[in-house]
Amino acid sequence: MPAPYSGGCQCGAVRYEITSEPTGLTVCHCTDCQRQSASAFGMSLRVPTASVRFTKGTPKTFSFAGDSGRPKVGAFCPDCGTRLYHILAPTAPSTTIKAGTLDNPSAFKPVVHIWTRSKQPWVPIPDGMLQYEKGAPDQAVVDKAWAERKP
Ligand SMILES: [Zn+2]
Ligand SMILES: [Zn+2]
């Protein structure tokens, strides 16, 4: 199913639409994603920032430094607190949508697992999947896997 893709927070106060194709989907096992998701890992769907449109409500944002040390902005629903996206700076060209907030969370499959050094030991990673102890050292390798992925 091609773009647009829609999604929103748990309470429905914030809704968004992505009007172009995503450029990657990463599973992140860093300790920040574990805390932020209140679960075992985070899922980041990379999309062009210009393609994200909020159709209902306005997310609230806050800044933090992730495991990588880079400052990031996290955006969440002001009513229910669901994390909706991360961005490196308000003007960065890409945004990472929290993929579990998509109306169809099965629309995309990840091609890479990162920060596996803090992965929960009971989470298996499928054979043949790109995986890195920290962040991906070569984004071109990850981009290639995304471009060549099977549906
Ligand atoms: Zn909400
Ligand atoms: Zn992470």
Spell out which residues have Cβ within 5 A of ligand 1, the ion. Answer: 9, 11, 13, 77, 79-80
110 lies in which domain range?
A: 5-146
Least distant ligand from the CA of 26: 2
Domain harbouring 38, CATH code: 2.170.150.70
Does the residue 134 lie in any domain? yes
81 CA → ligand 1 middle, Å: 6
Domain count, the chain: 1
Spell out which residues have Cβ within 5 A of ligand 2, the ion. Answer: 28, 30, 33, 42
Question: Could you tell me the CA-to-CA distances from 68 to 13, 29, 109, 134 in Å, in that order?
Answer: 31, 12, 24, 8
Q: How far apart are CA 41 and CA 67, in angstroms?
A: 13
Sign of CA dihedral 93, 98, 102, 104: positive
Does the residue 151 lie in any domain? no
The tens-digit pLDDT sequence of the chain (151 residues) is: 789 999 999 999 999 999 999 999 999 999 999 999 999 999 999 999 999 999 999 999 999 887 777 889 999 999 999 999 999 988 899 999 999 999 999 999 999 999 999 999 999 999 989 999 999 999 999 999 999 998 7
Give pTM, 2 decimals.
Answer: 0.93
